[in-house]
Each structure stands twice: as structure tokens, then as C-alpha cells.
Amino acid sequence: MSTNLFTPIKLGSTELKNRIIMAPLTRARAGADRVPNELMVKYYEQRADAGMILTEATAITPSAVGYANTPGIWSQEQIEGWHKITNAVHAKGSKIFMQLWHVGRISHSSFLNGQSPVAPSAIRPEGHVSLVRPITNYEVPRALETEEVKAIVKNYRQAAINAMEAGFDGVEIHAANGYLIDQFLQDSTNKRDDIYGGSIENRTRFLLEITDQLIEVWGADRVGVHLAPRCDSHDMGDSNPLALFGHVVEELNKRKIAFIFTRDPLDNDSLFPKLKEKYDGVLIANQKFTKITAEKALEDKIADAISFGVPFIANPDLVVRLAKDAPLNEPVFETFYGPDHVGYTDYPTLKDLS
């Protein structure tokens, strides 16, 4: 029997009703207090036809933030806000994992009570701080001391404990897109000479220490890792991405985690099919997939599930639309990070249009 997007799958110990995964999508609706609210409950509930939802990136501590109005998971109020979301998603028969986030150097002192952003090395990224006006360059980050790195590992552990209290089905480590863990992985941003720098083994140490801590909290079958092997976000780069991410995947495979998520479009430069060869668990592929290319990837066994991002923003009933080969709503990019329901919970479903 052939596998398609609507075939159930077991991801670690979690049974999914289909192989359509909602990607983590920063939407900046949590407000200045960074507490999940009723508007966010509605947004996630609308999209719970997905086999699994990965939450928007969620800061593990106040010092981990780099954008306005993104949610956190360090306070009791945040835990309670997220619990309303997990209850709503579970009531519709879907699963939801929290994506844990530290932005590292992709921040600004204005978000950090005047403190400098931190990073593995004091290398300023090119580009501008997101949505800050007037246009503001990124700052030179402060290189973390070795003991500070170890303290952040513990922060991830506590965030994972908080996510469990909030009713999640598991956690995903955000190790992609040029944020803190990715900054440790790639040699253009990691120039350290301690145990967290230099060799591939040392540069992957931070991610693997976090992974081991989260496995202690959740069990390996409830932990996933998000990777971006294309090295194409936030002024990143590595001299040998295949060797780096191949080693990461081999180490994660030894730990038998629930899944690896790769943001890596399917083209001649794709690394994720090669990474899939090194991994025995569920590989979730993401970026610019259509129904046709998604089902071809499943058929060719280069991925086990497919994650959609922007299509889920504009189509709360994306699963139904894919099943019926129905046309998709067009996303309105100007409202991706707006302050209210506009462009967030007001996209029409097929039922609305009938």
C-alpha cells in the first residue's frame, strides 16, 4: 500500500493522524508580556487538522528573545496560556510540540534591558533587526563564557519541564535559521577555542548536551530537532555543511529521538535526502513543498512527513484543501506580524466560501 500525506504515522511514541505537519511560524501576537492569549488559542485550534503542530518559536528565557511580541515559556502565566492552546489542539485530535528557542546574536539590546546579545563568538551578523524602526543594524554580540554556555543548557531543560506542565506532547529544539544553536554549529559564526569550538565534534556539543537534557525530561521519543542544512539564514555559513550536518544526524540517530525536521527545499542542492540515509527515525521535510512534490518525496522515501509553513498561515483548513485538491488562499505578507486578528484568524475556510 502506497504512502501519501494522509497516511497515519508514528513519530516516536506519538501517533499522528496524517503526515501533514504545521511548521513553526512566528506570528508576533503574544503581546508585550509574551503570554499566549485567546487569539492564539483560536489560531492554533483552527489549524488542528494537521497531524502535528509545531508551535511558533518560543523563547526559553527573557534573555533569549530577539523579536517583539513573541511568546515565552519561563513564567507560570505563560505555562497557563500555552495550556489553553494544547487543550484546544488535543480536543480536535491533533498533537502539538513546543519549539524551544534562543536567538543568540539575532537580537538587540533594546529587547534585552540594555544588555548585549550573546553568541558563541563576537561576530556581528549582517542585516537589520526585524521590524525595528528606524532601521537598526544588528549589534556585535558578546561571546559567551564556557560556564554561561552550560547555564543555557540548563535553561533549555527548565523550559522543557515547563512545556510538559503546559500539556505539550513533546518538544522540538530550534537548531536552525541562524539562531544560537546554529551559531554554535557553523564555523563562520563559531570561532571558539574551548570545548564548544573548533572541530565538528566540539561545535555540535552544545546541541547534543541540550538534546541529552531534554531526553532526560521527556524521553527520546518525545524530542525532535529542527535543522537548516542549507545554511542560508541570518548571514550563516559553514565550510562543509554535509560533514557538519551528517555528524549531527548520526549523533541524533544514536539517541533515537522522535524526529528530525529539515528546512531545506527540494532541488539539486538539497542535503536532506543524504541526511535521511543516516537517520532511522522520522524525517520531516520542509520548505516550498506542494501536494505533488510532497507526495513524490514520500513515495521516493527521502522524507517520512512533510511540513507546510506559509500555506498554513493563509489556509486554516489546509489539510481539507489538500485532500480535495481545492485552491489555496493567497497569503497577505503585510499582516504576518500584525497586532490583531487581521491576517491571523480571519482567512476563510472552504466552508466559509460555500
DSSP three-state, residue 97: strand
For residues 287 and 263, the answer to whether their CB atoms sit within 8 Å is yes
Side-chain-side CA neighbours of 211 within 13 Å: the count stands at 26
For residues 324 and 28, the answer to whether their CB atoms sit within 8 Å is no
Q: What whole-number distance in Å separates Cα of residue 239 and Cα of residue 349?
A: 45
Strands 9-11 and 118-119: unpaired
Distances (CA, A) of 92 to 24, 49, 82, 89: 19, 7, 16, 5
Strands (E), the chain: 9-11, 14-16, 20-22, 52-54, 58-59, 95-101, 118-119, 142-143, 170-174, 223-227, 259-263, 282-286, 305-308
Q: Is 279 one of the annotated active-site residues of the chain? A: no
- Which of 179, 279, 344, 347 is the catalytic position? 179
Contacts of 136 (CB under 8 A, 6+ apart): 108, 110, 128, 129
Q: What whole-number distance in Å separates Cα of residue 271 and Cα of residue 241?
A: 9
As beta bridge partners, residue 227 has: 262
Q: Using alpha carbons, select from 97, 102, 100 the residue that is nearest to residue 118.
A: 102
Distances (CA, A) of 246 to 193, 197, 277, 306: 22, 17, 9, 20
Output the nine-digit C-alpha cell for 127.
Answer: 542585516
Residues 150, 159, 213, 241, CA torsion sign: negative
DSSP symbol at 260:
E
For residues 344 and 325, the answer to whether their CB atoms sit within 8 Å is no
Helix H or strand E segment including 296: helix 291-299
Residues known to be catalytic: 179
